[in-house]
Amino acid sequence: MESRKRPHNGLTTTNGTGSNDGITEINEKRLIINPTFKYRQNRPTLCKPAPYSTDPEAIVEHEGCDYTQKITVEMAQNGTAPRKIRIYTDGIYDLFHQGHARQMMQAKNIFPNSEVYLIIGACNDELTHTMKGRTVMTDVERYEAIRHCRYVDEIIRDAPWKITDEFMTEHKIDFVAQDSTPYVSEDCDDIYKEIKEKGYFVATERTEGISTSGLVARLVKDYDMYVRRNLARGYSAKELNVSFLSEKKFRLQNKIDEIKHKGRKVKGDFIQKWEEKSNEFVRAFLMLFGRENLLEKIWDKSKGGIREVISLHPKNKKNGMICDNNGTDLQPPKKIQRTKHCSITSDEDDEELNLAQSGFPSITFTLPSNNFI
């Protein structure tokens, strides 16, 4: 999380002495507060945005604070403070993200046994661009983002870069909550050094893996993709500060991607229709070859028809003899007799079977005896 001058992050909460009273469990995802502590009044910021320091309700809260009653860290930790503890934290809060919110959550719960009034200070655009650089969001947008965080009770616009005693007295600030890592500026090695020396500093910790600079790096890394995305959503090349040729290139890439998407859709529809047809085929196949054995019945019927065609009618059979249509017994065909033949082209006697329907061009002589003339 990036605050005013550096990424502020937080999962654990510590107080000025390094302890974390009231925190019963801390891990990477959650921070569990002491369940015995209850706020002494209903928090209006849970139902509406937090007020600016110049709004009437913030002024009433400010005037009702008896700043002559100085509150020490021990009083805040033990819950013996006679009034609300006013804690201040500042930052740029550009591209407001969960790291910012967790840092505010830590500051709000830094003293779980006492009631904390959390004040957030945000620098304006002029000071930010001079001291740190250009932001994505304007100062008004950043103020509005902070107002809608449930941990915030009040917002100070046009916050100073360096906190002074006069600023703390003006806003009746008891403690300043920030990351304990020193922040080096042009004229000093740590702009919170004086606050720490006076005992008004309470430390929070960073949320690793998230920062405004990291989010900007993602946009820069995938610059072409986000330009194409906004062009497709109706933004002009002028609004995106894109040249004429780059615009045409990006639009062509969008068109190619659109064609690819349509091709995949058509392919998907074809596969879906094919699956439907295949399911119909499978159902028909199962009906044909399933438990009813329809195919076997069809085969039996066709086999019976073939038998009737190639054979005589069953009523014409008589004691195993084949009869004609008039009932007359038909003799079975005679067996072929074995004969001897002599081949003109051979001097050897061969005893062969002379078939009546033989097509061999040979001449045979049937003899009554074995004497060959």
The predicted structure's pLDDT at residue 230 = 87
The predicted structure's pLDDT at residue 36 = 42
Considering 32-41, 97-106, 246-255, the range whose residues carry the highest mean pLDDT is: 97-106
Q: Average pLDDT of 116-123?
A: 97
| Greater model confidence, 39 or 294 | 294
Work out whether strand 23-26 and strand 31-33 pair parallel, antiparallel, or are unpaired. antiparallel
Please tell me the least confidently modeled range out of 141-150, 248-257, 280-289, 315-324: 315-324
CA 370 to chain CA centroid, nearest Å: 104
- Look at residue 351 and tell me whether its pLDDT is greater than 50: no
The predicted structure's pLDDT at residue 69 = 93
- 168 phi and psi angles, rounded to 5 deg: -65, -40
- Look at residue 117 and tell me whether its pLDDT is greater than 90: yes
Please tell me the least confidently modeled range out of 106-120, 166-180, 279-293: 279-293
The predicted structure's pLDDT at residue 24 = 36
Q: Please state, in angstroms and as integers, the Cα–Cα distance from residue 36 to each residue in 73, 112, 113, 126, following that order.
A: 20, 9, 8, 45
- Look at residue 118 and tell me whether its pLDDT is greater than 80: yes
Confidence class for position 278, pLDDT limits 50, 70, 90: confident
As given in the structure block, the two tokens for residue 116 are 């904390």
The predicted structure's pLDDT at residue 217 = 93
- Does the pTM of the predicted model rise above 0.75? no
**CB-based burial of residue 200 (10 Å sphere; 0-12 exposed, 13-18 middle, 19+ buried)?**
buried
- Look at residue 340 and tell me whether its pLDDT is greater than 60: no
The predicted structure's pLDDT at residue 358 = 47
- Look at residue 355 and tell me whether its pLDDT is greater than 70: no
Other beta carbons within 10 Å of 147: 17
The answer to whether 86 and 119 are in contact (CB under 8 A) is yes
Other beta carbons within 10 Å of 35: 9
- Look at residue 283 and tell me whether its pLDDT is greater than 60: yes
- Look at residue 186 and tell me whether its pLDDT is greater than 80: no
**Percent of the residues in the chain that have a pLDDT greater than 90, as a whole number:** 41
Q: Please state, in angstroms and as integers, the Cα–Cα distance from residue 221 to each residue in 209, 216, 241, 245, 254, following that order.
A: 17, 9, 17, 21, 19
* Mean model confidence pLDDT for the chain: 75
**Percent of the residues in the chain that have a pLDDT greater than 70, as a whole number:** 62
| Greater model confidence, 36 or 307 | 307
Please tell me the least confidently modeled range out of 192-196, 259-263, 271-275, 303-307: 303-307
The predicted structure's pLDDT at residue 309 = 58
- Look at residue 106 and tell me whether its pLDDT is greater than 80: yes
Q: Average pLDDT of 224-243?
A: 86
